[in-house]
Amino acid sequence: MLRYDEVLGQSRATDVLRAAAQSRRVHSTWVFHGPSGVGKFTTAVAFGAVLLGGDETGTAEAARLIRAATHPDFHVITKELSAYSRDPRVREQLQNNIPKAVIEEFLIDPAALAAVGGAGIKVFIVDEAERLDPIAQNSLLKLTEEPPPGTVIIMVTASEDRLLPTIRSRAQRVGFMPLGAEDMERWARSHEAEHGAAIDPHQRAWLIGVSGGSPGAMWLALEEGLTAWRDAIEPLLDVLLEGDFPSALASTMERLVEERAVAAVERDPAASKEAANKFWARRLVAFVGESLRSRIRQSPRLARAAATWIERFDAAQTQIEANVKIGFALEGAVAGAGLDQP
């Protein structure tokens, strides 16, 4: 997907990028920020293709080379590049963050060489930029202060607040929003056409509702069979909202996170179990939040209680990101249910 018109629900963002490319005064550093799975990375790739001489049809030579991962001036920086570092110590690290060595080897050094050689535009996309460790961010800051001619850096992030304020202040920020129900339905139809299989009608509306306007979240739910979460969690949320104590809620949530994290590490032994725990905790807390919001839409009388529990689970997620044990954080979120019901 290398065309703006294939990015659903983000016309405001793509209009900004069209105007920038047409003006031929493209900022050297960009931050694409917004919820996970709403098209930030896809848009960054399409923007990069246009900057490298492509067009919005996605049929030009630049787009063909990018699809084949052979364009010499198009680079995607991810935490997984640690496995390909020239430094054996970096290769042996678990892939949790994007370390300074990866930024230097795969972004700063190539950008400097391109400047010396007088090359044209060189595009670097830093995916999950919130994973840049503080030292890596400081190294990147120096590059944003004095960017080599022709260098364009696009940082894609679902947690903009984890980037240094000095980086954000030097970047052109482009916001991305959750998709509306109509665009989510369009995405679901496109997914069905691409895979030649219909989504179970009993699951379709539920999947759209709990995906929170994120096609990426819906794709993940379909790929990972997360409808099983509904059967495990939603009856316990019903108990919670009625003011009783669902003693199994926190332990069930912890078990579901653990199952997914273990499976992720089994698929990729280089993956970090800690990172997998946090990823699946974020997904599960987001799932619970959207499930609670759907109950508000269906029954306004539950609005006050549901809103309070959403805040509690969000607070638990903040604790998990700060390395509090998942079970402890979730137990704290549920503690007092049925006693201090909001």
pLDDT-above-70 percentage for the chain: 95
SS3 57: coil
> DSSP strand E in 84-148: where?
122-126
Asked whether the beta carbons of 155 and 171 are under 8 A apart, the reply is: yes
Whole-number pLDDT of residue 119: 62
Which of 2, 29, 55, 33 lies closest to 151 in space, CA to CA?
A: 29
For residue 259, is pLDDT > 60?
Answer: yes
Return the minimum-mean-pLDDT range out of 86-95, 175-184, 246-255: 86-95
Whole-number pLDDT of residue 341: 44
Whole-number pLDDT of residue 116: 63
Average pLDDT over every residue of 43-53: 92
SS3 155: strand
Burial environment of residue 138 by CB neighbours within 10 A (0 to 12, 13 to 18, 19 or more) = middle
Asked whether the beta carbons of 124 and 71 are under 8 A apart, the reply is: no
> DSSP strand E in the chain: where?
29-33, 74-77, 122-126, 151-157, 172-175
Give bridge partners of residue 155 from the DSSP assignment.
Answer: 31, 126
Return the minimum-mean-pLDDT range out of 237-246, 277-286, 315-324: 237-246
Residue indicated by tokens 């032994």: 269
CA–CA–CA angle 172, 175, 180 (5° rounding): 160
Return the minimum-mean-pLDDT range out of 113-127, 132-146, 163-177, 266-280: 113-127
| pLDDT tens per residue, range 140-154 | 998 998 888 889 999
> Sign (positive/negative) of CA torsion 323, 326, 328, 332?
positive
SS3 137: helix
- DSSP secondary structure letter of residue 132: B
264-288: buried (b, 16+ CB within 10 Å) or exposed (e) per residue? bbeeeeebbeebbbbbbbbbbbbbb
Return the minimum-mean-pLDDT range out of 53-57, 177-181, 317-321: 53-57
CATH of 4-175, one of 3.30.465.10, 3.40.50.300, 1.10.1200.10, 3.40.190.10: 3.40.50.300
> DSSP strand E in 100-220: where?
122-126, 151-157, 172-175
Which of 16, 79, 77, 78 lies closest to 50 in space, CA to CA?
A: 16
Burial environment of residue 220 by CB neighbours within 10 A (0 to 12, 13 to 18, 19 or more) = middle
- Taking the domains of the chain in order of start, what are their residue ranges? 4-175, 226-334
* Dihedral angle, C-alpha 80, 83, 88, 92, nearest 10 °: 80
CA distance 259 to 56: 42
